[in-house]
Amino acid sequence: TQLLEQSPQFLSIQEGENLTVYCNSSSVFSSLQWYRQEPGEGPVLLVTVVTGGEVKKLKRLTFQFGDARKDSSLHITAAQPGDTGLYLCAGAGGSEKLVFGKGMKLTVNP
Amino acid sequence: EPEVTQTPSHQVTQMGQEVILRCVPISNHLYFYWYRQILGQKVEFLVSFYNNEISEKSEIFDDQFSVERPDGSNFTLKIRSTKLEDSAMYFCASSVRGGRGTGELFFGEGSRLTVL
C-alpha cells in the first residue's frame, strides 16, 4: 500500500516568515503533485514534479522532488496571509490512482 | 479558464435513498475520476474512467456505486442505496493524460453529501 506522510500537519506563522512542508513515502512515485485546498472547495493543482532531483519554482514557492522519487518538499519564502490554506501532496504510482497525503494546514497571520 | 463543474453543491438524503452526483469535466480531457473526502480525512480515490469504461476502481467502489458518461459532456456518480458512512465531499476530476502520464488532475469544487 502506497502512503504519503506530510509534516508538519499544522503550522501557524507570522507574515514574512519562511516555511518548509515535507511529503515522505517508502514507495517510489512516477510523479508527485502539490495541491492547495480551501475549506469547502476542491484541490487546486500547484505543480507537478516528475524527475528525481527536480526543482520547480512558482513565485515564492519552491518545490523539490527527492532523488529517489520517494519524497518531496515545498518551501514558501516570505509567507503572506493569502498563502493560508491546506497544502496536499499526491503521488502517481503508475496507475490511474493518485495517493494523497493528509495535508498541512497553514495559517499565516498578518 | 476551463474548469470542472459539479452539481449539486450540497445534497441531503435519507439512508437507503439513491443519489446521483453530476460533473462536467474540462472539454478536451479524456480521463475522468471520482474521489471523496470524509471530513477531516484524506482525499481517497474511488474510480477512474476512460474510453467509456472504468479503468480502475478502489475497494470503496463496491456494487452500490456506478459511473456513467451518458453524453459527450456529463459524467455521473450514482450511489444506489446510501449509507451513513457515505457522507463525504465527492470530487470529480479530469485529466488530459491520466495518472499513467503526468498525473495532473483538475478538480471540481465538490458535492457535499449528507446521509441522515
Contact yes or no for B105 and A45 at CB 8 A: yes
Asked if B103 and A30 come within 8 Å (Cβ–Cβ), the reply is: yes
What is the Cα–Cα distance from A57 to A74, expressed in whole angstroms?
Answer: 10
Interface test with A, best of B94, B105, B112 (most A CBs within 10 A): B105
Residue range A1-21, pLDDT digits in tens: 788 999 999 999 999 999 999
Confidence of residue B101 (pLDDT cuts 50, 70, 90): low
Confidence at residue B1, expressed as pLDDT on a 0 to 100 scale? 74
Q: Does the beta-carbon distance from A96 to B48 stay under 8 Å?
A: yes
For A83, phi then psi, to 5°, come to -85, -10
What pLDDT does residue B111 have?
97
| Domain hosting residue A25, numbered range | 5-109
Question: Phi and psi (nearest 5°) for A62?
Answer: -120, 125
ω into residue A110 within 30 of 0, thus cis? no
Give the separation between CA B64 and CA B83, rounded to whole angstroms.
10
Q: Are B99 and A95 in contact (CB under 8 A)?
A: yes
A95 in reach of chain B (CB within 8 A) = yes
* Residue B103 confidence (pLDDT): 65
Q: What pLDDT, in 10s, does the model give residues A59-69?
A: 999 999 999 99
pLDDT for res B72: 77
How many structural domains does chain A have?
A: 1
10-residue mean pLDDT profile of chain A (110 residues): values are 91 97 93 92 93 95 95 97 96 88 96
Q: Which residues of A touch B41 (CB under 8 A)?
A: 102
Task: State which residues form the domain around B24.
Answer: 5-115
Q: How is residue B36 written as a grid cell? A: 471523496
Provide the pLDDT for residue B113: 98
Burial A13-22 (b: 16+ CB within 10 A, else e): beeeeebebb
pLDDT at position B11 is: 97
pLDDT, residue A77, reads 97
Question: What's the CATH code of the domain at A83?
Answer: 2.60.40.10
| CATH classification of the domain holding B107 | 2.60.40.10
Within its chain, how far is the Cα of B9 from the centroid? 13
Is residue A5 exposed (0-12), middle (13-18) or buried (19+ Cβ within 10 Å)? Answer: middle
Residues on chain A touching B43 (C-beta within 8 angstroms): 43, 88, 90, 100
Total tally of structural domains belonging to chain B: 1
Cα torsion A78, A81, A82, A83: sign? positive
CA A23 to CA A33: how far, in whole Å?
10
Sign of the torsion formed by the C-alpha atoms of A14, A48, B88 and B72: positive
Is B91's CB within 8 Å of A43's CB? yes
AA identity, residue B6 = Q
Question: What is the spatial distance between Cα B115 and Cα B50, in angstroms, rounded to a whole number?
Answer: 29
Give pLDDT, residue B73. Answer: 85
Give the pLDDT confidence score for residue B100 in this predicted structure: 66
